[in-house]
Structure 1
Amino acid sequence: MSSLTLLSPAKVNLVLAITGVRADGFHDLVSLVAPVAFGDQVTVTLTNEGGGDQLTCDFPGVPTDSTNLALRAVEAFRRRHPFEASVRVDLDKKIPAGAGLGGGSSNASTVLSSINELLDKPLTINELIEVSSELGSDCPLFLAQKPVIMRGRGDQLESLATAAEEALSGQRLILFKPSFGVETGWAYGRMKANGTWYCPATEAEAMLAEWQAGSDLCKVPLFNNMQQAAFEKFLALPVLLELIRERHDARCIMSGSGSACLVWLEPDMASESIIATIQECLGEAAFWVETSIA
């Protein structure tokens, strides 16, 4: 038996521009995305005791059958590189569902990385990215383990300039999520039905190019045209974000497809009063965490 325990990080989309619908039905995007120091803990164990692959998780509502991306990742790895051992995945879940923080995709990529490590790396990083892209559009970014620019449907990754990557490293954030979630498929469906919310790829590329060429790399141009779909239905989100801007002079946006949002903390900015505002508006049961870009 051999085992490996790894952090399965959440991600934030600092820039997310959905640019249009592809011929294959997926959406094209341009996104500046980064893993954070907060996430789930995944333990992958290879065993010869038999019994088949299995997943354990005591977080309510998380499926532990083959519909879970973590077990689908095991199957995808086997298709690319067959092996005899059974796999047990123990998932200590912290990332909330329906948040747009990439929890399921992160779990899948972490499982792929863990199996590859335990089997003495039979697959290259490019092969792992190919396998992960079969599982979901967000999966490849978690294999990069650093901030990247995503393109296509999320399967095309580009490293940042060294100075930009260093500027983002350690940047403090508050992540929060109300009691309700946003289903990703619904959000993309609303984008497609509206048809006017898309951002031209040229505008998104110019935004990122100007930022990387600028003198203040800590001023990331927070942008998310996908939040318009969620804001149309869940009015509490834009109201709270505007309150945070007015009361605390803090920059904030929805992350990914939502409903989680992020607050960008400047170096001298205390988090306690902002967290108090979040709890005042969403209640004590709302999810929040102070973290940083990995």
Structure 2
Amino acid sequence: MISITLPSPAKVNLVLAITGVREDGFHDLVSLVSPVDFGDEVTVSIEPSEGGDSLACDYPGVPTDESNLGLKAVAAFRQKYKIAGAVKVHLEKRIPAGAGLGGGSSNASTVLLALNELCGQPLSDNELLKLSSQLGSDCPLFLAKKPVIMRGRGEHLESLSQVAESTLVGQRLLLFKPTFGVNTGWAYGRMKATGAWYCPTAQAEGMLADWQAGPETRKVPLFNNMQNAAFEKYVALPTVLGLIRERHNLRCLMSGSGSSCFVWLDENADVSAITKTVRDCLGDDVFCVETTLA
């Protein structure tokens, strides 16, 4: 048996502008997104066996059948390269589900990277990118391993300038997620049904261009028009974000389709006090973790 264990990071969307519906039914987006130094761990093994591929995970609610993106990644890799043996995937989950932190997408891309490593790098970066984009809109960004701008469905990635990237990497965040999640399909469906929450592409590109022209940490744009759907149904989210701004004078935002949110921490931020505000509003069972942009 040969085996490899890799980190599978979460992500946060600093800018997430859903700009409209495509002809294929998916949505176009413009997003400034970054991995963080918090996430899962993925172990992939290839065993000399005729048995089938399998995935194991003891995190409650995570499917271990073919519906898991990790096993879909194995199947996609097999279409491009003949693997001699059975693939075994073990997920050590820390990223909560239904959070908008990209846990499943990160797992899938990490499985692709692990298999490519175990098999001697038979697939190029472009081939891995194409495979990942077939698995999910968020999957390609986890191959970049750095802050990027995503466009299209998420398959088009643009690197930041070195100065802009250095502005982000190492920035401290407090991530939190209430006990409830937000279904991504539902959130996109609400946006499509209302038709009023889309962000013009020119507006999204403009805010990113303005920031990149003179990138500063305090000027990083924080924007997410998917908040509209989540806030409409889950009023606890805008309530807690409003309390954080009022009590701690810090910027905060929902990440992705939610329900997780993040607080942009400054040098003097009192994380314990912010966490107390979050727990006072959402309960003691809320998930909280301090991390940094990677």
TM-score range for the pair, normalised by the shorter chain length:
over 0.9
Residue identity opposite 2:140 in structure 1: P
- In structure 2, the residue matched to 1:53 is 53
- Give a deviation string over 1:4-40, Cα, whole Å, max 9, x none: 1111000000000000000000000000000001001
1:267-282 correspondence to structure 2 within 5 Å: 267-282=267-282
CA–CA distance in structure 2, aligned partners of residues 50 and 4 of structure 1:
20
Q: CA 1:215–1:255 in 2, change beyond 3 Å: closer, same or farther?
A: closer
Residue identity opposite 1:287 in structure 2: F
CA–CA distance in structure 1, aligned partners of residues 16 and 64 of structure 2:
31
- Give a deviation string over 1:138-172, Cα, whole Å, max 9, x none: 00000000000000010000000100101111110
Flag structure 2 segments of 5+ consecutive residues without an equivalent: none
CA–CA distance in structure 2, aligned partners of residues 217 and 272 of structure 1:
23
- Give a deviation string over 1:150-209, Cα, whole Å, max 9, x none: 000100000001001011111100110111100000000000011010000000001001
CA–CA distance in structure 2, aligned partners of residues 106 and 248 of structure 1:
32
- In structure 1, the residue matched to 2:112 is 112
Aligned residues of 1:4 and 1:43 also touching (Cα < 8 A)? yes
Aligned residues of 1:168 and 1:218 also touching (Cα < 8 A)? no
Residue identity opposite 1:256 in structure 2: G
Higher alpha-carbon deviation: 282-291 or 110-119: 282-291
- In structure 2, the residue matched to 1:190 is 190
Aligned residues of 2:163 and 2:215 also touching (Cα < 8 A)? no
Q: Report SS of the residue matched to 2:219.
A: coil
- Give a deviation string over 1:200-250, Cα, whole Å, max 9, x none: 000000100100112524421100011000000100000110000000001
Residue identity opposite 1:243 in structure 2: L
Higher alpha-carbon deviation: 264-273 or 200-209: 264-273
Q: What's the TM-score once normalised by structure 2's chain length?
A: 0.98
CA–CA distance in structure 2, aligned partners of residues 2 and 112 of structure 1:
15
Aligned residues of 1:44 and 1:115 also touching (Cα < 8 A)? yes
Higher alpha-carbon deviation: 62-71 or 43-52: 43-52
Aligned residues of 2:164 and 2:215 also touching (Cα < 8 A)? no
CA–CA distance in structure 2, aligned partners of residues 24 and 103 of structure 1:
25
Residue identity opposite 1:100 in structure 2: G
- In structure 2, the residue matched to 1:66 is 66
Aligned residues of 1:211 and 1:217 also touching (Cα < 8 A)? no
- In structure 2, the residue matched to 1:139 is 139
1:128-277 correspondence to structure 2 within 5 Å: 128-214=128-214, 216-277=216-277
CA–CA distance in structure 2, aligned partners of residues 151 and 286 of structure 1:
32
Deviation for aligned residue 1:80? 1.3
Q: Report SS of the residue matched to 1:258.
A: coil
CA–CA distance in structure 2, aligned partners of residues 103 and 216 of structure 1:
28
CA–CA distance in structure 2, aligned partners of residues 139 and 209 of structure 1:
24
Q: Report SS of the residue matched to 2:241.
A: helix
Count of paired positions: 294
- In structure 2, the residue matched to 1:44 is 44
Deviation for aligned residue 1:282? 1.2
Query: Do residues 90 (structure 1) and 90 (structure 2) align?
Result: yes
Q: CA 1:93–1:215 in 2, change beyond 3 Å: closer, same or farther?
A: closer
CA–CA distance in structure 2, aligned partners of residues 59 and 256 of structure 1:
22
Q: What's the TM-score once normalised by structure 1's chain length?
A: 0.98
Q: Report SS of the residue matched to 1:237.
A: helix
Q: Report SS of the residue matched to 1:151.
A: strand
- In structure 2, the residue matched to 1:15 is 15
